[in-house]
Structure 1
Amino acid sequence: MSDFQRAREALGVRLHQLRDDAGLTGRALAARLGWPHSKISKLENGRQTATPHDLTAWAEATGHPSVAGSLQSDLAMLETHYRSWRRRLANGHQPAQQEAGSEERGACVVRAYEPNVVPGLLQTPEYARHVLLASAALHQSPQDTDDAVRERMRRQELLYVPGRRFQFILWEGALRARICPPDVLASQLDRLSGLVGLDTVSISIIPFLADLPLTLRHGFWIHDQSYVTVETINAALHLDDHADVSLYLRAWGMYEQAAVTGAEARRILVSARHTIGPI
């Protein structure tokens, strides 16, 4: 069981206790709140994540309005480790970009493994625009694309700060994926070629024909050796348990063994760019 699920179940136990103390059945509380009974059951059994509004309403309906703040603190701690895109993108992509930038500014060494897409810190504005528009369409979130692109470009200023280290491992497929028009992809590949050799940045590429010590799993970002962020379709996970961080560092090392750098990486970039043809 994940730490997130344990925390969600612990919150459910607190909610059940509040209802029990108030002498209410699940159906009675549901009627008082105007909710379906199934929602009460799901929240108490850790099968649904409460919203701040849910917790305030629950505390008031059970006669314990003073505990709303404590319940919301538990929720905030839970969401530190599991941040659903539905909530994270409720106000668009710009706030999420600002949050990512804050995390990056707090780290001296950032490692990123991406098998499917060019990482945001390396994207051109037009490539970023297509990635963010697709995400907004998937999550049906507000399309603040221009502001989000500007924020993503602002994050990239860290690449040029002395003393910082940004290490990227990409699978060759990420360089060829047509998630944008050919001219946009061509410009993106040109930018990556220009970044190879930058003092603060290392770009490694896992070739199509590389012998893999590990299957190509989901992308992840390691901030120093403190915590890992993993983005799935529905949520962003924040993993700071020592065992989890050690596991991802081990995976990073295995992918690094299969990757090429320097002139070999540049040759793969040139080959990918050549397949697009003249623009």
Structure 2
Amino acid sequence: MSTDYQQARIILGARLRELRTEARLTVRELAARCAWAPSKVSKLENGKQTAKVTDLEQWAEGVGQPTAAAELKGRLRGLESTYRSWRRQLAGGHRAVQDSIGRQHEKTRTFQGFTGSVIPGLFQTPDYARHVLTRYAHLHGAVRDIEAGVQSRIRRQEGLYLPGKKYRVLVWEAALHVRICPVDVLRAQLDRLMSVNGLTGVSLGIVPLTASVDIAAGDDFWIHDGRLVIAESWHAEMWLDSAEDVALYLKVWDTLDSAAVYGQPAHRLISRARASLDLR
């Protein structure tokens, strides 16, 4: 778990403890009022468990300060607006997650992105997107409304054809070969990737497996207009807008970009990956 995220949970926990001690309640007394095990109170106070909205409402009632619920929920929103657990997000369905990203894409004019494990969602075919979302849905145990999520993801691609939008995208060569889908789906996906490589607003760089790099490929991320970074990990999606964080990701992007190839060299790497599928 991110150190910053954990620190935010600890700060929220400290505020919860403050409210309990101000009410002169022991851990057991508050737990009894909320019909919880005492261990839950301890975990929330010590940042060992992320509170739910209902937990905060019960806590405020339990300490006799129901109006404090608004403050506590505001703290929780601040925590989750930066580190958005996939489990919590997907509880609302795949379409909700994709629509949220789509709204951010509508606001953005210049994108700088990197993907190291799969073809970027902006360039995915519906079949490829369906397989990717399905695999990750099973990982998080959230398999409902996948088709709606696919449709929302594909709608974002309309931006590729709008004047004024620029997409500067880096893909690690390994992503061209990952068999997260059947061979025929991957073959069609690579054909699609070659076609978008010629779009006016798209600059597609491939980082070759054999390239000398100053930094190893890490998590996928997108930089929106140099003001917001959306980065992904296995457990969460991080929305980072501090100047320090954005500057770090811009530096990472520039470093990876220096190892990337464009134009015909990039096209040859995609063609080589496609040709390797015909050898099976």
Residue 172 of structure 1 corresponds to 173
In structure 2, C-alpha distance between the alignment counterparts of 1:82 and 1:159, rounded to whole Å: 28
1:216-245 per-residue CA deviation (whole Å, 9 max, x = no partner) reads 111111111111111111111111111111
SS of the counterpart of 1:208? Answer: coil
Counting only pairs closer than 5 Å after superposition, residues 153-164 of structure 1 correspond to structure 2 as 153-164=154-165
Match of 2:228 in 1: 227
Q: Contact (CA 8 Å) 1:113, 1:169: kept in 2 or not? A: yes
CA distance in 1, matches of 2:36, 2:111: 44
Query: 1:238-266: CA deviations, max 9, x gaps?
Result: 11111111111001001001000000000
Residue 31 of structure 1 deviates from its aligned partner by 2.0
Paired with 2:159 and 2:43, the residues of 1 have a C-alpha distance of 43
| Structure 2 residue ranges without an equivalent (≥5) | none
User: How far, CA to CA, are the matches of 2:27 and 2:198 in structure 1?
Assistant: 62
Identify the residue that residue 148 of structure 1 maps to in structure 2. Answer: 149
Q: Which moved more, 1:140-149 or 1:159-168?
A: 140-149
| 2:134–2:143 CA contact under 8 A, matched in 1 | no
1:118/1:175 contact within 8 Å kept: yes
1:71 aligns with 2:89: no
Deviation at 1:136, TM superposition (A): 1.1
Task: Indicate if the aligned counterparts of 1:171 and 1:205 stay in contact, CA closer than 8 A.
Answer: yes
Superposed structure 1 runs of 4+ greater than 4 Å apart = none
Kindly report which structure 2 residues correspond to 1:42-81, keeping only aligned pairs within 5 A, or say none: 42-81=43-82
1: distance between equivalents of 2:29 and 2:143?
Answer: 37
1:93 pairs with 2:94:
yes
Kindly indicate whether the alpha-carbon contact (under 8 Å) linking 1:173 and 1:208 is maintained by their aligned counterparts in 2.
yes
Counterpart residue number, 2:216: 215
Instruction: Say which SS state the counterpart of residue 108 (structure 2) adopts.
Output: coil
The share of aligned pairs that are identical, in percent, is 46
The 3-state SS of whatever aligns with 2:223 is: strand
Determine the C-alpha separation between the residues in 2 that align with 1:171 and 1:115. Answer: 5
Q: Which residue of 1 aligns with 2:19?
A: 18
For 2:127 and 2:144, the matched residues in 1 are separated by 15
Match of 2:260 in 1: 259
User: What is the TM-score of this pair, normalised by structure 1?
Assistant: 0.97
Deviations 1:74-97 (A, max 9, x none): 111111111101110002111000
Q: Provide, for residues 69-123 of structure 1, a one-character-per-residue CA deviation record: whole Å limited to 9, x for no partner.
A: 1111111111111110111000211100000101111111111101101111110
Shift of 1:65: 0.8
Aligned to 1:138: 139
Q: Distance in 2 between matches of 1:76 and 1:67?
A: 14
* Deviation larger for 38-47 or 68-77: 38-47
* Partner Cα distance (1:8, 1:224) in 2: 29
SS in 2 for 1:121: helix
Contact 2:220 2:231 in 1 (8 A): yes
Counterparts of 2:222 and 2:43, CA distance in 1: 32
**Worse-matched range after superposition: 125-134 or 62-71:** 62-71
Shift of 1:27: 1.5
Q: State how far apart, in whole Å, the 1-side matches of 2:202 and 2:38 are.
A: 54
Residue 127 (structure 1) aligned with residue 128 (structure 2): yes
Deviation at 1:278, TM superposition (A): 7.9
Amino acid at match of 2:149: A
Distance of 1:217 and 1:136 partners within structure 2? 21
The RMSD of aligned alpha carbons is: 1.4
The aligned counterpart of 2:192 is 191
Q: How far did residue 212 of structure 1 move?
A: 1.1
Match of 1:41 in 2: 42
